[in-house]
């Protein structure tokens, strides 16, 4: 009987639409990804490289989890649902034939759908170049083996495991809902496992605990070159082979145990009903006539209301009494509680459990989980009558169809309301458990009414409509989930992001501590209302297709819909349609008329046109700004700013300037006067209108303006330029906008147009550039001897030191922070005014921030007797760590003044800004720091690493290295403004918290450097650092090591001499890495010169290891430690190839620790390369020995104690 059942299952699947939906969804999804090159690759890695195909196959297996749950859960349950037990128990069908026929017949279709995914990848590699979606250069020739190998080693084992799991669960529990719960549990468990794995460095755990091998593949490809990734498949060997064996075996064991346990009798057994037992004392018989009563039948409004409420109650009880509902919900709550409890954090500390974090997590992660719950239980509600066979009589009962529909819809809306309340209740619970009682109930309420509830109701309307349109429950699940996932993918992968045409999608609205949802509330409410109206219209139209009795043919349903679509249904649909059009029209007016919406391809096309037509102005001579006087009026409640700026400009070129190119990007309007004369302008470029902006002008002028000066600005001359500008927002946009212009937390950069052609707006991807006929673009390192770059600051602002005078006003209840000393503050005309001036000319750029601040003030005394005013400006809700910020300001100013020269200004302040603001932006006398860094860190537990102190002292150090000493625009110069402050913060942290506090920061920079150099191969030497890990993380480690060998005071003396040479340069050459190296070189003795060259002029890593170590007692509490070492130093050439160091004779520390890591011995040796043996006598029982215990050396792998 195996063959008959196997063939029956195949025929059944071929008749079901779900198979074709899944197949074509996987096919199209893969085609889109590979045709558009939307797969993760490193530079020069092909889109269809074997490593890409392997990782894509593993990721696709997670999608195929949904497929296997839908297909493998049905074959056995279908027999229960259709009550075919009499057939199977009566005919000579064997257990093996039935079980394996069902299993293999269904598994075959999971395999076919999996093949469709890889087939789509293959087709995408041909469609992309053929239709110009991606450059042909992005693909290598296809090799069948590159597709076959990951299918056999990744996809097939993964789908075998999940298929065996789901098939076995239904066989054991005889309920299809176990598929819903187990599938969601597996998905949530995988997410939680990834959370843990991201914080674990044990390779066995990473490789073996992942059933899909995604983390193992990422670890295996980390650090591989593009050539390796393009030419070699990821072979299943070692731990990866063990992973495959383990999880295939788990699937096989599940399948075998299920088969051994399976029996027809037990599987088809069910409740046989209860025996009716006659009572011992039956009631006396009465005449039937005496029982008759006159019945009055009233099927009017009261009856409908009563029936509606009664049926709604029944539907709700069906959900509430369903154990699987609570199992699924409990799994989601456990997951959500886990995420809520651990919260955001960094540096091995966590933030307080704030409401903004809860809402952000729910919207990004948990909302899709809720959608699965809603669509599953919508299916149960809509199809319940057919499953219970109540449909046989349902059509003959008096309640009208609309009452039945409304009761189901009402119960589902109640379910949605409950699910929307869950994150609010859970968030409050987590806050109570963690002892954080700052409940932001207004934000909870806003999130519930504007986001959570409308979103859940929209899911109900969508799911209900799908299940009304599709008669089969499982097919409806497949259709609904597929459509929902496609909508998400279209938006997330930027294929299509026009929210007016994506059901349920609204502008992203991230909640902030300082401003809540802010000005984004208005667009979110409009879009939510629009989609709720659309959902209601879908339900009204879909309800006409409601199958009340037995299943109807498509023709019957169509006829029934026409009969039902009359009266209130027709007028209700018409009214909803009119309201939908009006709402959509208003949204379109805001998004595509008052503002413009551009697709990603339209943005690229505009950038290409700008480059092609305006690149000629890139080398235009530009004046330099030498003085700025500005008045600015900020209107936070209107997201508007008006500024009036007087600039003094100078021509420092050797030729006259007669033309200015200004870029008014992000400015609503601006006007220019030159020496008190209005300047006229022309628009050198017009751009094509976006296809969704039908009523805007076509073409539209670009933001660039070309001004011809009334009189030429001759070399050495100065002129006065007056600019009046406004930055505002009309209406609202398709997505987030005015990010820095919040009602509380307004950040403004002065409102000046850009000067000259902006090459940062050029297309960076060379494949895209080729599509628009642009030449390839490669970032070029600017040589240290480039005189123009040496005379230009790293920020590329056309200015040297400037005099800055700012007068700014804001709302009466807000405070403004700006660079300089606060000379005067007053209130007039209902507005709050501030006048900031500079004690000393400063380097641009600058910014100002306005918010409802609380202010904490203090002073710090310097060695020269001056007292520097200190301020911490913060949101009153986020004041838990104000003292830590103040301590960091105080220690940073005092220590840096002692080390590198007195702080030259009168004040220093740090101000909190919103999540959309900068993270630790340091400019003259002011630090702006986002609310998510430090302000809400939970530091209540003693002994936690104080990252607030570290990041704040680093920002204070930038006053010296960035504001006093300005780096130039040559390669590596960012070390001065990013690397040096991090090193200084390391030393301040060490002095305050000791080695324990220091180790946390060192570990972070080592991890960053190690990860960075694996990802960007080959690495440049430090003098030519051109990647973030080279000029940020590595200098901190190198300088820390240098001070360990040279001495902290000696290194400070070198840095001070460097600072004194380049402090407040006004023109001429600014500081570069060669200048810094020269300052270090003059203070480093010959004995350590090898270290300086190795760390700055070469790429060098140590690879030192302890081979064996032992300790024997000598008596008198003395022990002899014998250790065998392998000492190696490795250089890496320009191609990343390793070259062992020769002639090595380097200083390396050896340390011996006792119990509890108490130091017993520390000595600095000079080692040549190769094997070494040491005998060390220590007092006290040794517990471990370690090479380079303080971590002064950059090593391939950080040394760890070797137990004795």
pLDDT at 739: 86
Query: What pLDDT is stored for residue 271 in this prediction?
Result: 46
Say yes or no to pLDDT of 74 above 80: no
pLDDT at 1181: 92
- Whether 1122 and 1175 have beta carbons less than 8 Å apart is answered as yes
What is the tens place of the pLDDT at every residue in 655-675? 999 999 999 988 999 999 999
Contact 65, 162 (CB under 8 A): yes
- 58-68 core/surface letters (b: 16 or more CB in 10 A; e: else): bbbbbbbbbbb
Cα gap 981→19, rounded to integer Å:
59
Angstrom distance (rounded) from CA 991 to CA 888: 12
| pLDDT at residue 558, rounded to an integer | 76
* Range of lowest pLDDT (378-387, 874-883, 1031-1040, 1127-1136): 378-387
CA distance from start to end of the chain? 67
Burial environment of residue 1077 by CB neighbours within 10 A (0 to 12, 13 to 18, 19 or more):
buried
* CB atoms inside a 10 Å sphere around CB 362: 25
Q: What is the pLDDT of residues 213-235, one digit of tens each?
A: 887 787 777 666 677 788 888 88
Residues ≥6 apart with Cβ < 8 Å to 662: 672, 681, 704, 705, 707, 753, 754, 755
The average pLDDT across 519-539 equals 95
Higher pLDDT, 1177 or 345: 1177
Is the pLDDT at 184 greater than 50? The verdict is yes
Q: What is the mean pLDDT of residues 929-940?
A: 91
User: What structural domains and CATH numbers belong to the chain?
Assistant: 2-268 (no CATH), 301-594 (no CATH), 974-1098 (1.10.390.10), 1101-1203 (2.60.40.150)
Q: Give the containing element (helix H, strand E) for 361.
A: helix 355-361
> What confidence category does residue 341 fall into, taking pLDDT thresholds of 50, 70 and 90?
confident
Q: What is the pLDDT of residue 682?
A: 93
Identify the helix (H) or strand (E) that includes residue 860.
strand 854-861
Q: What is the mean pLDDT of residues 1031-1035?
A: 93
CB atoms within 10 A of CB 1151: 20
DSSP code of 363?
I
Count Cβ atoms within 10 A of the Cβ of residue 675 and give its class: 0-12 exposed, 13-18 middle, 19 or more buried. Answer: middle
Confidence band, pLDDT 50/70/90 cuts, at residue 551: low
Residues 479-492 have pLDDT tens digits of 888 888 888 878 87
Strands (E), 192-347: 345-346
Half-sphere exposure of 943 (CA within 13 A, CB side): 1
Q: What integer pLDDT is reported at residue 1083 of this predicted model?
A: 94
pLDDT band at 195 (very low <50, low <70, confident <90, very high): low
pLDDT at 274: 39
Mean pLDDT computed over every residue of the chain: 87
How far is the C-alpha of 187 from the C-alpha of 194, rounded, in Å?
A: 11
- Partnered with residue 833 across adjacent β-strands are 809, 826
Using the predicted structure, report yes or no on whether residue 246 has a pLDDT greater than 80: yes
- The SS3 of residue 1100 is strand
Q: What's the average model confidence in pLDDT over 639-645?
A: 95
Answer whether residue 1078 shows pLDDT above 50: yes
What is the DSSP code string of 940-999? -STT---HHHHHHHHHHHTTTBTTTB-BBSSTTTHIIIIIHHHHHHHHHHHHHHHHHHHH
- The whole-angstrom separation of Cα 1031 and Cα 959 is 18
Q: Which residue from 463, 298, 294, 454 is spatially nearest to 372, judged by alpha carbons?
A: 463
Q: Comparing 307-316, 917-926, 1031-1040, which segment has the lowest mean pLDDT?
A: 917-926
Query: In this predicted structure, what is the pLDDT of residue 907?
Result: 93
Question: What would the mean pLDDT of 1174-1193 be, rounded to a whole number?
Answer: 93
Q: Evaluate whether 454 touches 419 at the Cβ level (below 8 Å).
A: no
Largest separation between any pair of C-alpha atoms in the chain: 122
Least confident of 172-181, 270-279, 673-682: 270-279
Among the listed ranges 28-37, 72-81, 225-234, 647-656, which one has the minimum average pLDDT value? 72-81
Report whether 997 contacts 989 (CB < 8 A). Answer: yes
Segment 11-15 long-range contacts (CB within 8 Å, at least 24 positions apart): 12/105, 13/71, 13/105, 13/106, 13/109
Q: Give the pLDDT band of residue 276 (cuts 50, 70, 90).
A: very low
Average pLDDT over residues 991-1017: 83
The values of phi and psi at residue 278, to 5°, are -70, 140
Which tens digits make up the pLDDT trace of 678-694?
A: 988 999 999 999 999 99
CA 246 to chain centre: 32
Among the residue ranges 1-5, 113-117, 396-400, 1071-1075, the one predicted with the least confidence is 396-400
Q: pLDDT over 90 for what percent of the chain?
A: 50
Q: Ramachandran region of residue 709, left (φ > 0), alpha (ψ -120 to 50) or beta?
A: beta
Q: Two tokens at 544?
A: 């006409």
Q: State residue 1156's pLDDT score.
A: 79
pTM of the model: 0.84
Question: What Å distances lie between residue 363 and 420, 456, 861, 1066, CA to CA?
Answer: 11, 11, 48, 50
Q: Which two tokens stand for residue 1051?
A: 């290194």
Pair 1204, 1178: CB distance under 8 Å? no
Range in 36-45, 526-535, 884-893 the model is least confident about: 36-45
Mean pLDDT over 891-896 rounds to: 96
- In whole angstroms, what is the distance from residue 1166 CA to residue 648 CA? 59
**Is there a cis peptide before residue 699, judged by omega within 30 degrees of 0?**
yes
Say how far apart CA 224 and CA 109 lie, in whole Å.
Answer: 36
């Amino acid at each position: 009987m195996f063959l008959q059942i196997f063939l029956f299952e195949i025929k059944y699947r071929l008749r079901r639409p779900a198979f074709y939906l899944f197949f074509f969804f996987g096919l199209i999804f893969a085609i889109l990804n590979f045709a558009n090159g939307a797969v993760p690759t490193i530079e020069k890695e092909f889109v269809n490289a074997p490593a890409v195909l392997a990782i894509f196959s593993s990721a696709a297996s997670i999608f195929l989890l949904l497929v296997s749950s839908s297909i493998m859960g049905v074959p056995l349950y279908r027999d229960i649902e259709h009550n075919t037990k009499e057939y199977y128990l009566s005919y000579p069908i064997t257990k093996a034939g039935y079980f394996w026929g069902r299993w293999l017949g269904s598994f075959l279709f999971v395999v076919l759908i999996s093949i469709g995914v890889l087939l789509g990848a293959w087709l995408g590699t041909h469609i992309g170049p053929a239709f110009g979606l991606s450059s042909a250069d992005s693909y290598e020739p296809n090799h069948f083996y590159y597709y076959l190998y990951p299918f056999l080693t990744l996809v097939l084992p993964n789908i075998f495991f999940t298929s065996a799991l789901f098939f076995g669960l239904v066989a054991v529990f005889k309920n299809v809902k176990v598929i819903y719960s187990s599938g969601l549990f597996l998905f949530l468990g995988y997410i939680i496992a990834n959370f843990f794995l991201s914080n674990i460095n044990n390779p066995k755990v990473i490789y073996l605990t992942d059933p899909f091998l995604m983390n193992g593949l990422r670890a295996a490809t980390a650090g591989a070159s593009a050539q390796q990734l393009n030419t070699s498949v990821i072979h299943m060997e070692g731990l990866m082979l063990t992973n495959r064996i383990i999880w295939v075996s788990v699937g096989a064991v599940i399948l075998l145990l299920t088969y051994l346990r399976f029996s027809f009798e037990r599987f088809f057994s069910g409740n046989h009903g209860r025996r009716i037992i006659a009572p011992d004392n039956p009631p006396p018989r009465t005449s039937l006539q005496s029982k008759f009563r006159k019945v009055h039948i009233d099927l009017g409004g009261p009856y409908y209301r009563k029936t509606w409420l009664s049926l709604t109650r029944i539907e709700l009880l069906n959900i509430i009494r369903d154990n699987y509902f609570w199992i699924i919900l409990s799994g989601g709550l456990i997951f959500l509680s886990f995420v809520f409890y651990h919260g955001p954090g960094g540096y091995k500390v966590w933030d307080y459990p704030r409401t903004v974090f809860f809402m952000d997590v729910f919207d990004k992660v948990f909302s899709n989980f809720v959608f699965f719950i809603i669509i599953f239980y919508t299916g149960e509600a809509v199809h319940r009558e057919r499953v219970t066979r109540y449909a046989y009589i349902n059509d003959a009962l008096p309640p009208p169809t609309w009452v039945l529909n409304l009761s189901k819809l009402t119960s589902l809306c109640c379910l949605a309301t409950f699910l929307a309340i869950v994150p609010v209740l859970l968030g409050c619970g987590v806050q109570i458990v963690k002892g954080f009682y700052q409940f932001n109930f207004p934000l909870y309420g806003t999130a519930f009414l504007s986001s959570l509830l409308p979103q859940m109701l929209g899911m109900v309307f969508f799911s209900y409509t799908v299940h009304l349109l599709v008669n089969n429950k499982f097919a409806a699940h497949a259709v609904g989930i597929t459509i929902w996932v496609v909508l998400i993918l279209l938006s997330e992968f930027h294929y299509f992001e026009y929210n007016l045409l994506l059901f349920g999608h609204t502008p992203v609205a991230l909640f902030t501590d300082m401003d809540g949802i802010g000005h984004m509330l208005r667009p979110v409410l409009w879009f939510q209302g629009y989609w709720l109206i659309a959902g209601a219209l879908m339900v009204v139209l879909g309800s006409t297709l409601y199958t009340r009795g037995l299943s109807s043919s498509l023709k019957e349903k169509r006829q029934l819909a026409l009969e039902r679509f009359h009266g209130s249904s027709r007028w209700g649909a018409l009214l909803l349609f009119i309201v939908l059009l009006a709402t959509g029209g208003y949204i379109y007016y805001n998004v595509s008329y008052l503002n413009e919406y551009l697709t990603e391809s339209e943005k690229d096309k505009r950038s290409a046109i700008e480059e092609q037509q305006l690149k000629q102005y890139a080398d235009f001579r530009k004046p330099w700004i030498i003085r700025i006087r500005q008045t600015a009026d900020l209107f936070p409640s209107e997201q508007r700013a008006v500024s009036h700026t007087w600039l003094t400009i100078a021509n420092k070129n050797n030729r006259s300037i007669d033309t200015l190119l200004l870029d008014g990007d992000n400015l609503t309007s601006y006007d220019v006067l030159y020496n008190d004369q209005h300047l006229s302008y022309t628009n050198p470029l017009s751009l094509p209108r976006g296809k969704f902006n039908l009523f805007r002008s076509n073409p539209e002028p670009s933001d660039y303006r070309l001004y011809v000066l009334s009189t030429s600005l001759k070399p050495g001359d100065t002129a006065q330029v007056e600019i009046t500008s406004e930055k505002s927002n009309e209406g609202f946009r398709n997505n987030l906008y005015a990010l820095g212009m919040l009602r509380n937390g307004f950040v403004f950069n002065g409102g000046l147009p850009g000067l000259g052609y902006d090459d940062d707006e050029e297309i960076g991807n060379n494949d895209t550039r080729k599509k628009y006929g642009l030449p390839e673009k490669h970032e070029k390192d600017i040589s240290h001897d480039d005189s123009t770059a040496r005379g230009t600051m790293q920020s590329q602002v056309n200015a040297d030191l400037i005099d800055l005078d700012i007068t700014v006003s804001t709302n009466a209840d807000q405070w403004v922070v700006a660079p300089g000393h606060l000379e005067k503050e007053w209130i007039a005309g209902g507005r709050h005014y501030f006048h900031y001036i500079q004690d000393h000319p400063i380097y641009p750029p600058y910014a100002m921030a306005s918010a409802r601040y609380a202010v904490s003030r203090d002073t710090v005394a310097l060695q020269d007797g001056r007292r520097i005013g200190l301020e911490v400006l913060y949101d009153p809700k986020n004041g838990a760590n104000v003292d830590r910020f103040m301590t960091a300001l105080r220690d940073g100013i005092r220590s840096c003044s002692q080390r590198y020269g007195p702080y030259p200004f009168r004040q220093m302040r740090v101000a909190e800004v919103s999540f959309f603001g900068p993270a630790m932006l340091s400019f003259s006398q002011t630090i702006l720091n986002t609310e998510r860094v430090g302000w809400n860190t939970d530091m209540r537990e003693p002994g936690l690493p104080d990252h607030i102190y570290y990041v704040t002292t680093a920002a204070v150090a930038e006053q010296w290295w960035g504001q006093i000493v300005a780096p130039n625009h040559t390669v590596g110069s960012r070390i001065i403004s990013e690397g040096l402050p991090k090193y200084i913060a390391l030393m301040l942290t060490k002095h305050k918290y000791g080695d324990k506090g220091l180790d946390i920061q060192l570990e972070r920079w080592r991890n960053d450097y190690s990860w960075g150099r694996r990802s960007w191969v080959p690495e440049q030497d430090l003098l030519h650092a051109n990647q973030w890990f080279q000029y940020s993380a590595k200098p901190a480690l190198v300088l820390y090591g240098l001070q360990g060998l040279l001495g902290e005071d000696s290194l400070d003396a070198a840095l001070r001499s460097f600072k004194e040479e380049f402090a407040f340069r006004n023109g001429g050459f600014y500081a570069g890495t060669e200048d810094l190296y020269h300052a270090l070189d003059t203070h480093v003795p010959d004995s350590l010169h090898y270290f300086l060259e190795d760390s700055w002029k070469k790429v060098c890593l140590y690879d030192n290891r302890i081979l064996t170590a032992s300790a024997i007692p000598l008596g008198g509490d003395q022990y002899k430690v014998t250790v065998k070492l392998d000492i190696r130093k490795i250089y890496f050439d320009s191609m990343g190839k390793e070259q062992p160091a020769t002639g090595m004779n380097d200083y390396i520390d050896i340390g011996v620790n006792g119990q509890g890591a108490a130091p017993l011995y520390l000595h600095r040796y000079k080692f040549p390369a190769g094997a070494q043996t040491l005998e060390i006598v220590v007092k006290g029982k040794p517990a471990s020995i370690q090479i380079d215990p303080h971590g002064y050396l950059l090593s391939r792998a950080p040394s760890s104690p070797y137990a004795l």
